[in-house]
Amino acid sequence: MTEQALPFGEKYYPAIKKLMEIRRRSLEDPISFWDEKARELIWFRYWDKVLDDSNPPFFKWFVGGVTNITVNALDKWMKTDVKNKVAYYWEGEPGDRRVISYADLYREVNRMAKVLREDLGVKPDDRVVIYMPMIPELPVALLATARIGGIHSVVFSGFSPKALADRIVDAKAKVLITADGYYRRGKVINLKRNADEGVRIAAEQGVEVEKVLVVRRGGLDLDVEMKEGRDFFYDELAKKIPDNVYVPPEPRKSEDVLFILYSSGTTGKPKGIMHSVGGYMVWVYWSFKWTWDPRPDDIMWTLADIGWITGHTYIVYAPLMHGMTNVMYEGAPDYPAPDRVWEMVERYRVTIFYTSPTAIRLFRKYGDEWVKKHDLSSIRLLGSVGEPINPDVWKWYYEVIGRGETPIVDTWWQTETGAAMIAPAPGIALVPLKPGSATFPLPGVDADVFNDRGEPAKPGEKGYIVIKKPWPGMLIGLWGDPQRYIRTYWQRFSKPDQGVWIYYPADYAVKDEDGYFWLLGRADEVLNVAGHRLGTTEIEDAILHHPAVAEAAVVGIPDPVKGEVPLAVVVLREGYRPSRELEEEIKKVVREVLSPIAVPARVLFVNKLPKTRSGKIMRRLIKAVATGAPLGDVSTLEDEASVEEIKRAWEEFKRAIEESERILRGEA
Ligand code: WTA
């Protein structure tokens, strides 16, 4: 980008210049750049090599280095004032509160580490699945596992037993940490029951979880079944352990796996995304520093669940490595009233508030009065993550929550990238913002936009975001499936014979005349529902669990709050007729098999799905018909079909939908 092209006032040039200068240095000589940056963290042994790129795309960072992330998140504070600082202000949905200092957290992590190692037999590299609500023992569980060198795999507590079982089986997990239950919208959810069911299904598939650790949330009146010899209440094991117990941090190689986090892909099977001990640690530490400009008196609230990457990085690892105070909340953001969150921001004097466009749209829907009731003047930075943020929502966030003076830090990244990749960097220099643009890549991130042919797209031309150099926080592979790792992320634009390796995130993007990046959503068959990634195939597979369903196709359609919601088109088996009841039953199956997030907004019934000659479902056609879009330019609609074919399929499909709707209204 050229400075002359910038439409902003003179005073901004220094900010952009400063950012570009650091970026240039980081990209011209990444080895010395990262060598210097990584030394700000504590290592038991420094690396022999910053980057081993001898076996691409399996890049290894800080090879020969040995560390443990919990030393950087906890131990290092024990000889400083941070020890007595609050690590978490926790609030349960009913309003119960806990305040946890760094010293408390340290004690609890050591204690759980001891229990995991000695009572449950967790050894380095064992997989520990964590299926817990948003209670303080959740970050404790991640850290305790990491401390003894286990590999954690957190499964979102809203996921179904089947989804839990799939993840247990894929990772061959030995231990499960769960809780008795939690509050959601005023109701007590019995999580242990789901956990038991998940463990049972996993056992049927040949993976026996040996031990289950159950944390009591407290204040619940729940009857929890415990299986003798397998299930243990955490408090009962912990009370035998002295307060000052010290579990030495397990020395971990930099390239060892810190955690696995499953995310949806384009097939029915979720991908076990692996992050490394050293690379992830260095990257999230720096990315956080640049993105949030952390200060000693900050109170950070990342309104997300630790079941997703945002919570891993921005509620647990990065803020703790910076000695930040965090707010953590158990329940629904609009319970018991739409101003729950603003009330908490006011009470805790939150300075950095970070959430998803879906949550922001929900707050906006409730109206400004709920916001105006509270003093939000403590906020100095607002963040957004998970989906593209529409400019009008951006402006509402800026005007109403940010009082027209708080910068919006729109952060583009993915589970795979570990932490923010493209984001305004107030920790370096705040560049002028454009509503809806995540602005520029951070240092170390060699991002660009490519067209279909793999050439850099022209300014304003829509293409695909790509990352042209490895960075420390990159995923190190997919658990048990190296081929899928290569296929999914590296095949599209790399030229192995020329030694060119290009990471492909599968997002559309545009770079404008000023060099600003605009991220435009997924370019693959992955939906983004309320900021959660869901594979179309995954939902289709769930729908097929219903005995009446012969075939199913799922597409995403726009939704004013959730961004996108699934819409299902279903072909029934012989002997079944479309009905509202059947529609509800199918939705219920999806809720049970997958998750409430995945439930289709509508189920439409047809006799035949529109397909290409080669049998590929014409998803874009379905989407266009469902959203009432005109047929328009069909040549770009489906890659493999002829114009005639599409026109015919379009007409047939429209008629089929109308027919089915008539039946449902009882007119046929
Ligand atoms: C989308 C969440 C536009 C994108 C951290 C990406 C975004 C997917 C943004 C990853 C943003 C995330 N603007 N789109 N600021 N942030 N996305 O793995 O499509 O749950 O590929 O990671 O969310 O979702 P994931």
Domain boundaries, the chain: 3-68+261-518, 75-250, 532-664
Q: Is the pLDDT of residue 640 over 80?
A: no
Write the CB contacts of 293 (distance below 8 Å, at least 6 apart in sequence). Answer: 381, 426, 427
Residues 52, 63 contacting (CB under 8 angstroms): yes
The alpha carbon of 410 and the centre of ligand 1 are apart by a number of angstroms equal to: 10
Residue 41, both tokens? 């963290």
Residue 352, SS3 per DSSP: strand
Q: Do 3-68+261-518 and 532-664 come out as alike in CATH topology? A: no
Residue of 497, 339, 519 whose CA lies nearest to 440: 519
Instruction: Output b/e per residue, 219-234; b: 16+ Cβ within 10 A.
Output: ebebebeeeeeebbeb
3-state DSSP call for residue 665?
A: coil
Q: For ligand 1, is residue 302 a contact (CB within 6 Å)?
A: no
Ligand 1 contact via 411 beta carbon (within 6 Å): yes
256 Cα to the center of ligand 1, angstroms: 26
- Ligand 1 geometric centre to CA of 38 (Å): 26
Q: Strands, DSSP E only, in 254-378?
A: 257-263, 271-276, 299-302, 325-329, 352-355
Instruction: Determine the pLDDT at residue 104.
Output: 98
Separation of CA 397 and ligand 1 centre (Å): 18
Average pLDDT, rounded, for the chain: 93
For 640, half-sphere exposure in the C-beta direction (CA atoms, 13 angstrom radius) is: 10
Task: Count the Cβ atoms, other than its own, within 10 Å of residue 545.
Answer: 14
* Rounded CA separation 425/439 (Å): 9
Predicted local distance difference test score (pLDDT) of residue 8: 57
Averaged pLDDT for residues 648-654: 81
Cis omega (within 30 of 0) for bond into 57: yes
Ligand 1 near 263 CB (within 6 A) = yes
Dmax of the chain from CA atoms?
76
- Which two structure tokens, joined as six digits, stand for 285? 């530490």
Chain Cα centroid distance, residue 34 = 25
614 pLDDT band, cuts 50/70/90, is low
Residue range 89-111, pLDDT digits in tens: 999 999 999 999 999 999 999 99
Q: Name the residue of 533, 534, 597 to mutate for ligand 1: max ligand atoms within 8 A of Cβ.
A: 533
Pick the residue whose CA is nearest to atom 22 on ligand 1. 414
The mean pLDDT value for 54-58 works out to 98
Determine which helix (DSSP H) or strand (DSSP E) holds 35, and give its type and residue range.
Answer: helix 30-38
Q: Is 505 in the pocket of ligand 1 (CB under 6 A)?
A: yes
Q: Is the pLDDT of residue 284 over 70?
A: yes
Residue whose CA is at the smallest distance from ligand 1 atom 15: 412
Ligand 1 nearest-atom number relative to CA 308: 20
Judged by DSSP in three states, 108 sits in: helix
Beta carbons within 10 angstroms of residue 612's beta carbon: 17
595 lines ligand 1 (CB under 6 A): no
pLDDT digits (tens, 9 = 90+) for 241-250: 998 999 999 9
Structure confidence at residue 422 as a pLDDT band (50, 70, 90)? very high
Residue 415 alpha carbon, nearest atom of ligand 1: 18
Let me know how long the chain is: 668
| Domain 3-68+261-518 falls under CATH 3.10.580.10 | no
Burial 625-641 (b: 16+ CB within 10 A, else e): bbeeeeeeebeebbeeb
Task: Give the residue, out of 413, 466, 508, 529, with the most ligand 1 atoms within 8 A of its beta carbon, to mutate for a pocket test.
Answer: 413
Centroid of ligand 1 to alpha carbon of 161 (angstroms): 26
Protein residue closest via CA to atom 11 of ligand 1: 412
pTM beyond cutoff 0.85: yes
- Can you list the positions of beta strands (E) in 43-174? 49-52, 60-63, 66-67, 86-91, 97-101, 127-131, 151-154
Nearest alpha carbon, ligand 1 atom 8: 414
**Atom of ligand 1 minimally distant from the CA of 519:** 3
Q: How far is the CA of 221 from the centre of ligand 1 (A)?
A: 38
Cα 491 to ligand 1 centre (Å): 21
Residue 576 pLDDT > 80, yes or no?
Answer: yes
| CA neighbor of 140 nearest in space, from 238, 8, 282, 211 | 238
Is 276 a residue whose pLDDT tops 70? Answer: yes
Atom of ligand 1 nearest to the CA of 532: 20
Q: Give me the amino acid identity at 582.
A: L
Q: Is 153 in the pocket of ligand 1 (CB under 6 A)?
A: no
| Structure-block tokens of residue 67 | 């560390």
Q: Is the pLDDT of residue 637 over 70?
A: no
Distance CA 168, CA 198 (A): 8
Give residue 270's pLDDT band: very low, low, confident or very high (50, 70, 90). confident
At residue 5, the pLDDT reads: 43
**pLDDT reported for residue 233:** 98
Q: Can you state the angle between helices 619-626 and 643-664, rounded to 10 degrees?
A: 50
Mean local confidence (pLDDT), 416-436: 95
Asked if residue 413 has its Cβ within 6 Å of ligand 1, the reply is yes
pLDDT for residue 634: 55
Ligand 1 contact, 354 CB (< 6 A): no
Q: Is the CB of 564 under 6 A from ligand 1?
A: no
Which pLDDT band holds residue 668 (cuts at 50, 70, 90)?
Answer: low
In the chain, % of residues over pLDDT 90: 80
User: Mean of the pLDDT values across residues 575-603?
Assistant: 93
E strand or H helix that includes residue 194 = helix 191-204
Atom of ligand 1 nearest to the CA of 388: 3
> For ligand 1, atom 7, which residue shows the shortest CA distance?
387
Please report the atom of ligand 1 found closest to the CA of residue 438: 15
Going from the Cα of 347 to the center of ligand 1, the distance in angstroms, rounded, reads: 30
Q: Is the pLDDT of residue 645 over 80?
A: no
CA distances from 246 to 85, 109, 138, 237, 327 (A): 20, 9, 20, 16, 26
Q: pLDDT tens digits, residue range 127-168? A: 999 999 999 999 999 999 999 999 999 999 999 999 999 999
pLDDT at 659 over 90: no
What is the SS3 assignment for 5? Answer: helix
| Per-residue model confidence as pLDDT tens digits over 59-94 | 999 999 999 999 999 999 999 999 999 999 999 999
Is 437's C-beta closer than 6 angstroms to any atom of ligand 1?
no
- Kindly list the distances between the CA atom of residue 534 and the CA atoms of 220, 265, 310, 448, 566, in Å, as whole numbers in the listed order: 31, 7, 16, 26, 9
Rounded to the nearest 10°, the torsion over CA 193, 195, 201, 203 is: -120
Fold classified for 75-250: Rossmann fold (3.40.50)
Mean pLDDT of 39-53: 98
262 lines ligand 1 (CB under 6 A): no
Q: Which of 130-144, 174-188, 536-550, 648-662 has the lowest mean pLDDT?
A: 648-662
Whether the Cβ atoms of residue 68 and residue 148 lie closer than 8 Å to each other = no
- Mind giving me the DSSP string for 200-260? HHHHHTT----EEEEE--SS--------TTTEEEHHHHHTTS-TT---PPPPEETTSEEEE
CB-ligand 1 contact for 410 (6 Å cutoff): yes
CB-based contact 543:568 (threshold 8 Å): yes
Query: In this predicted structure, what is the pLDDT of residue 11?
Result: 64
Per-residue pLDDT reduced to its tens digit, 310-365? 999 999 999 999 999 999 999 999 999 999 999 999 999 999 999 999 899 899 99
Higher pLDDT, 641 or 212: 212
Tokens of 418: 């570990």
Exposed / middle / buried, residue 664 (Cβ in 10 Å: 0-12, 13-18, 19+) = middle
Ligand 1 pocket test, candidate residues 519, 522, 595, most atoms within 8 A of CB: 519
Å from CA of 18 to ligand 1 middle: 27
Ligand 1 atom at minimal distance to the Cα of residue 522: 19
Ligand 1 and 386: CB distance under 6 A: yes
CA distance 22 to 188: 50
- Site to probe by mutation for ligand 1, drawn from 393, 415, 507, 510 as the one with most ligand atoms within 8 Å of Cβ, is 507
Phi/psi zone of residue 640: left (φ > 0), alpha (ψ -120 to 50 degrees), beta? Answer: alpha
| Of the listed ranges 54-63, 196-205, 520-529, the one predicted with least confidence | 520-529
Shortest-distance Cα residue to atom 13 of ligand 1: 388
Question: What pLDDT does residue 10 have?
Answer: 62
Cα of 504 from ligand 1 centre, angstroms: 13
Check if the beta carbon of residue 213 is closer than 8 Å to that of residue 115. Answer: yes
> Could you tell me if the CB of 250 is within 6 A of ligand 1?
no
pLDDT at res. 105: 98
Domain 532-664 has CATH 3.30.300.30: yes
Per-residue model confidence as pLDDT tens digits over 5-31: 445 556 667 888 899 999 999 999 999
> Cα(412) to centroid of ligand 1, in Å?
6
Indicate whether residue 534 lines ligand 1 (CB < 6 A).
Answer: no
Whether residue 385 has its Cβ less than 6 Å from ligand 1: yes
CA 8 – CA 310 distance, rounded (Å):
32
Mutate to test the pocket of ligand 1, among 271, 384, 412 (most ligand atoms within 8 A of CB): 412
Ligand 1 midpoint to CA 413 (Å): 5
> What contacts 24+ positions apart, CB below 8 Å, involve 335-344?
335/93, 335/185, 335/186, 336/186, 337/370, 338/363, 338/366, 338/367, 338/370, 339/366, 339/370, 339/371, 339/373, 339/374, 341/303, 342/370, 342/371, 342/373, 342/374, 342/376, 343/374, 344/91, 344/301
Ligand 1 in reach of 438 Cβ (< 6 A)? yes
